[in-house]
Amino acid sequence: MYRYDEFDHEFVAGRVAQFRDQVSRRLKGDISEDAFKPLRLMNGVYLQLHAYMLRVAIPYGTLSSRQMRMLAHIARRYDRGYGHFTTRQNIQYNWPKLGEIPDILEELASVEMHAIQTSGNCIRNVTADHFAGASADEVADPRPYAEILRQWSSLHPEFSFLPRKFKIAVTAAEHDRAAIQVHDIGLQLKKNEKGELGFAVWIGGGQGRTPMIAKKIKDFLPEADLLSYVTAIVRVYNLHGRRDNKFKARIKILVHETGTEELTAQIDAEWAQLRGGELTLPAEDIASIQAYFAPPPLTDRPEGWAQLAAWKRTDADFSAWVAQNVAPHRHPDYGMVTISLKPIGGIPGDASAEQMEVIADLAEELGFDEIRVTHEQNLVLPHVALADLEPLYRALAANGLATANAGLITDIIACPGLDYCALANARSIPVAQEISERFGDAARQREIGDLKIKISGCINACGHHHVGHIGILGVEKKGAELYQITLGGSADENTSIGEIIGRGFEPERITDAVETIVETYLAGRSNDKEDFLAYYRRVGSAPFKDALYGEKSQAA
Amino acid sequence: MALIWNETGVVENDRFASGEETPFIDLDAALTAAEEGANSLAVLVAPGDDVSRLAPVLDRVALVALDFPAFSDGRGFSHATLLRDRLGYEGEIRAVGDVQLDQVPFMLRVGITSVETRHEPTARRLTEMRLPGVGLHYQPSARRSQRPSETSYSWRRRTADAG
Ligand code: SF4
């Protein structure tokens, strides 16, 4: 993985000093809270319902054991012993003190981490496929490009006061695990006929109040032109994006209002001036960043196959965990292991300091020192020999980390909601917990199969409800919490925005409603190979509406 | 009182300091004035303006003032970049409006050469020449800056006079 050189160390140290100065001016009253707000936001500091919140960047979701141990240390020393992994592959601490945040940043800098641009109206932490560098289906590792974009966007003097936040995601496989079509810029690394690397470029995807699927504006952008082209996009957006209404300020609205063709023409005109200039990436620079991401030395471990078969025969729980949470690696003797942060009835994405340390140790011992954070709020050990799965499983299980539910109905994404967030209309976490309990039975979950539930506490959609197979959105009606359900959303290569199914449900009825939806699917599917999304796409919303509202609408 | 500052320090008695009357004319007025033969224009570019319209008359412009009406409005940063990189303007560019300390290092990097501020704590720090910026950069920008070394990545820069 990427290692800081002297330049990076000096830069981050400079940034910490700068923020320390800003905090001290704020505490002295030289800067008003209003003026401080954009400054703290550019360093990941939010003011929440009860306290400040610090969001730490985990670039493209990649962590070493040493970094994970530091995250544990910060949870213990400055927070209440927990961290919360987010849908943007970051980690949030919910209880730091403002005066201590510069110290936290200094500790982070010692392990090559920071909180730069994890919030604010700037280019945010760049995200990537969590299986990057390990999965069989990618054309090349997308992370070197995410790292180049991370560097280029850091404290960018022209693009630090954009109309609104700006999110970039990179993937390198046809099967999109990075949700690029719901990002401001989505990049898909691919090869052209000549075998050269480049990107398909998508812009204007997003969730929030006005969900939109991104439009492809370039089929093949040569890798050397990555920064000049992205600069052209962001410059056009900075100059022309709307600033009169915060809800219309994302680039998706600019794309929508200007028209894809016209906006693409503007971007291309700007790019024509920039192309071939000093932003052009020399091949040797790309190569030296790529060298940091060289795959670990995976020796053949064929003994794993027989061992695995034997263990599976004797331990049904282990067998179920392998089937659900271990995905095939590029190397046949290895697997990519999802560590679920969704224990039945738990808070999605939360990990205790102790759990983080256990994971750090295991990654060091059995996983080539690499950990990933997924946008589904789980962790991944991307390179584990099949022969090591059994001891890994035992250690995870002993620490509440071996829930065999990756991709299943209890693998729920939920935003912090009304328990923490100042913008929330409704609670998200308790809803996730109740649904998780209701469907907690392992056999029942497996019978239901792949089903993504995503919950947001308000229309800002941090819980990605628009792209949940079942999306749940907290709304407020006459002072009471109500949950609106959408069906059929998805954020992969066939991205779709879920459709609202009907009027909302009270907190005490939402889990029943989800159960009704699930039962409707189970009764209607043609066979157990037809997953929920496929069924929904085949039959539409009618059977679900009937089941949820049928009797009442007939009575009315 | 507004303070005018450039990298050599506080500028006293600047001829374009905003007083009772604005020393600037807007973009349309500047284009008309230039057509009529006027020189030494001081043009105020509003955030929504298309700065490239100034191209044909830039040799008659003495100062371009870029308006930053709010801390959050960053269009002026692109205007400055375009004036320098695209239009080749070499005269003074001044940031006016809601100019606050923490933006000044960014402003200098995109080619802005002076600022006018009414924000007292900002004025104090500028007077003391204590800027809060980071002298290392991950991207080239309109203001000339060096590659940190010959072997460093093509996109990295170091402010020549970074203290
Ligand atoms: S979706 Fe709304 S409630 Fe949930 S975290 Fe985002 S802003 Fe807060």
Encode pLDDT of A477-495 as tens digits: 888 999 999 999 999 999 9
For residue A92 and ligand 1, the question of a CB distance below 6 A is answered with: no
pLDDT over threshold 60, residue A553: no
Interface contact A281-B137, CB threshold 8 A: no
Please, what are the domains in chain A? 6-109 (3.90.480.20), 135-292 (3.30.413.10), 303-397 (3.90.480.20), 414-554 (3.30.413.10)
pLDDT at B22: 86
* pLDDT greater than 90 at residue B162: no
User: Does the pLDDT at position A187 exceed 60?
Assistant: yes
Res B163: pLDDT? 37
> Which of the residue ranges A225-239, A413-427, A533-547 would you say has the lowest mean pLDDT?
A413-427
pLDDT at A31: 85
Reduce the DSSP state of residue A337 to 3 states and report it: strand
Report the pLDDT averaged over residues B103-112. 96
| Mutate-to-test residue for ligand 1 from A164, A377, A460, highest number of ligand atoms within 8 A of CB | A460
Other CB atoms within 10 Å distance of the CB of residue A405: 25
- Give the DSSP letter of residue A166: B
Cβ A460 under 6 angstroms from ligand 1: yes
Judge if the beta carbon of residue A429 lies within 6 A of ligand 1: no
Q: What is the pLDDT of residue B1?
A: 73
Question: Residue B160 in 3-state DSSP?
Answer: coil
Q: Is the CB of A489 under 6 A from ligand 1?
A: no
Number of other CB atoms surrounding residue B78 within 10 Å: 22
B58–chain A nearest CA distance, Å? 19
- Residue B138 is nearest to which of A21, A151, A239, comparing CB atoms? A151
Q: Does B118 touch chain A (CB under 8 A)?
A: no
Best residue for ligand 1 mutational test, from A47, A50, A415 (most atoms within 8 Å of Cβ): A415
Mutation pick for ligand 1 pocket among A420, A462, A464 (CB with most ligand atoms within 8 Å): A462
Is the model's pLDDT at A551 over the cut of 80?
A: no
Q: What is the pLDDT of residues A279-292, one digit of tens each?
A: 999 999 999 999 99
Give the ligand 1 atom nearest the CA of A422: 8
Contact present, B100 and B119 (Cβ < 8 Å):
yes
Mean pLDDT of A177-204: 97
* Cα torsion through B45, B46, B51, B56, rounded to 10: -40
CB-ligand 1 contact for A471 (6 Å cutoff): no
The ipTM estimated for the assembled molecules is: 0.96
Of B66, B82, B74, the C-alpha closest to A238 is B74
Q: What is the pLDDT of residues A207-239, one digit of tens each?
A: 999 999 999 999 999 999 999 999 999 999 999
Question: What is the mean predicted confidence (pLDDT) over A46-65?
Answer: 92
Q: Which residues of chain A are within 8 Å of residue B75 when distances are taken between CB atoms?
A: 238-239, 243
Closest residue CA from atom 2 of ligand 1: A458
Give the tokens for residue A258: 């200007």
Give me the pLDDT at residue A49, please: 79
Judged by CB atoms closer than 8 Å, whether chains meet at B138 and A154 is answered as yes
Do A238 and B86 make contact, defined as CB atoms within 8 angstroms? no
CB contact under 8 A, B132 and A22: yes
Whether the CB of A416 sits within 6 Å of ligand 1: yes
- Residue of B52, B66, B78, B100 for testing the chain A interface, max A β-carbons within 10 Å: B78
The reply to whether residue A7 touches residue B135, judged by beta carbons under 8 angstroms, is no
Helix (H, G, I), strand (E, B) or coil at B37: coil
The DSSP letter of residue B144 is -
Q: Give percent of chain A with pLDDT exceeding 90.
A: 92
**Interface residue of B67, B68, B77, B86 to substitute, partner A, most A CBs within 10 Å:** B77
User: What backbone phi and psi angles, to 5 degrees, belong to A472?
Assistant: -125, 125
* CA-CA-CA-CA torsion sign (B13, B63, B105, A160): positive
Q: How confident is the model at residue B161 (pLDDT cuts 50, 70, 90)?
A: low
Q: CA-CA-CA-CA torsion for B75, B80, B86, B89, nearest 10 degrees? A: 150
Task: Give the minimum alpha-carbon distance from B154 to chain A in angstroms, rounded to a whole number.
Answer: 7
Cβ(A413) to ligand 1 under 6 A?
Answer: no
Q: Are A470 and A463 in contact (CB under 8 A)?
A: no
Residue pLDDT, tens place only, A151-176: 999 999 999 999 999 999 999 999 99
pLDDT tens-digit series, residues A499-508: 999 999 999 9
Q: Which atom of ligand 1 is nearest to the CA of A424?
A: 3
Ligand 1 atom closest to residue A417's alpha carbon, by position in its atom list = 3
Q: Which domains does chain B have, with CATH numbers?
A: 3-132 (3.20.20.70), 133-163 (no CATH)
pLDDT band at A33 (very low <50, low <70, confident <90, very high): confident
Token pair 């620079």 in the structure block, residue: A285
Tell me what pLDDT residue A531 has: 97
Q: Does B136 contact A7 at a Cβ distance shorter than 8 Å? A: yes
Specify the pTM.
0.95
Q: Check residue B145 and give its pLDDT.
A: 86
Q: At residue A180, does pLDDT exceed 70?
A: yes
Note the pLDDT tens digit of each residue in A118-158: 999 999 999 999 999 999 999 999 999 999 999 999 999 99
**What whole-number distance in Å separates Cα of residue A374 and Cα of residue A415?**
14
A474 CA: nearest ligand 1 atom:
3
Residue A556 has pLDDT above 60, yes or no: no
